[in-house]
Structure 1
């Protein structure tokens, strides 16, 4: 799949997303005071995917406009603002302009988006507290200049309190996409299942000048938050570990006073939950009662670890149990993670996007 074909795929898939968004926005307007949360989330996911994929090709105006629409739908979704028809009209206008830009993708950067951006941002919740951006950089690696990024402080604090790490992911156009028959949307979908996609852009730093511009594979960089370790992340995303860099968060962890796994004494501070059976309906009640007793008997621990070494099958009640443990542990301001996860367990975990919530390590890494 050549580069121009990938752009065509981006356009076609974005148009499919936009048609879905248009239909969903019309549906939401039918009962604006009682919006269906599933439809809202669908709109959010679709526009978020367009924003992410557009960053791969440096379609900056498509990215900016889709990001602004996403921010408005996010504020409605999380009830920071009360939905009204003016907001719906602003989003419809933004979506219509995106459609026009996709139809004329070669000239999309020439479009004037200021009116739509202004109308959308006027709908945002106005806060007396200015949005504070935090500057972060990758950890130093031999022969590589660390890249610098900015992230909303509120979002960063949420990542840290959830025990998540921030990474940069490098995807090479030929090696990681075209030669594997993948598109940017394929990459975004896997990323969203593995954690939280934050930002993507063309990695212009990968080309130093005219001397190497024909030799280097074009690269895209993604800023990404997840509870996964690098080894597991590499397998899930199908990229080498060398394409994954860690964002240095030591200063931020210290600033927010957040306790991390390295601060704990495993013998005193960690409670291990060690089921010896699958997490299936016939076993759930006994396991739940057992876990509750252990949590009540160990109120002083700072971390709870579910050891999944003996878990092969997880049904819907098993998923409920895991979420229940996580919510219980988080409500008590403790860390939570799962270790010893096998291949089947990891498939379930990725499907339900557990790595976006807490740390999971596989059996290989645990060993």
Structure 2
């Protein structure tokens, strides 16, 4: 079976073609970073307009890359939520319309299920069950995964997500948008131990996350300690260490509570080198293993939507003719396969 995947939940237009026997045949991605850079963040209306301009040309490019056409497809998958409603509507309307026009079933995919299953695209994919840390600009959650669609949310962010805190703190440090990767690079030049920030919500039971207080503590330090380059680097280092330690503590706690020794980390922040190194050390200590997607599949992309859509397609879970998008969509409300 072969499926076209369309991702348009925020500020990246991702298109992919996936074959359940041959694997990923095509992968096209357009990032809107330059569109939103002047505003310091994603402008929803501009994001929607850019998806309108880019989606169909990228679909054509994917067909050319794969050396096939619509006649070879068995379905069309698209991100139906969660995300920016306007951006979701672009991908949903195009994906559902193409499926109808080509006489194919359509599959509405949950964005975070796409991220959760992205490591399945790698040669060494995790086996079920596993614990997943989904960490991005809009979400931070810990999930027990017994199988596809069998999700138990163990904890999630009660305010700022980790990626959001990275970007906001980077802006306070005077870095350009998107600031998370730039902050991580700046942190490499920082001196360990000069500043100490809290590891929020690690001194109490539970697996929820909160990064707003850490962001405030960092902002106060930036205002009080001056703005020379080394001080900024030291603050960036201390902030990143606090986030990473917090995530690692919660992962270790979740693994112990569930008795599972396989950890998946996915989402944009999973590309952070220091976070990967920390979690690899944690899993070595726990005699387990950590899995994550290749860097290009950490951020939003069509490949993860195509893969997740393929699993739903093979299970016969199709979208109706009406076009529904969900800005909010609980992950644990999905049907198991």
Normalised-by-shorter TM-score class: under 0.3
The answer to which structure, 1 or 2, has the higher relative contact order (CA under 8 A, 6+ apart) is: 2
Question: Which structure has more helix as a fraction of its residues?
Answer: 1
Please give the TM-score of this superposition, normalised by the length of structure 1. 0.24
Please give the TM-score of this superposition, normalised by the length of structure 2. 0.25
**Which is greater in Rg?**
1
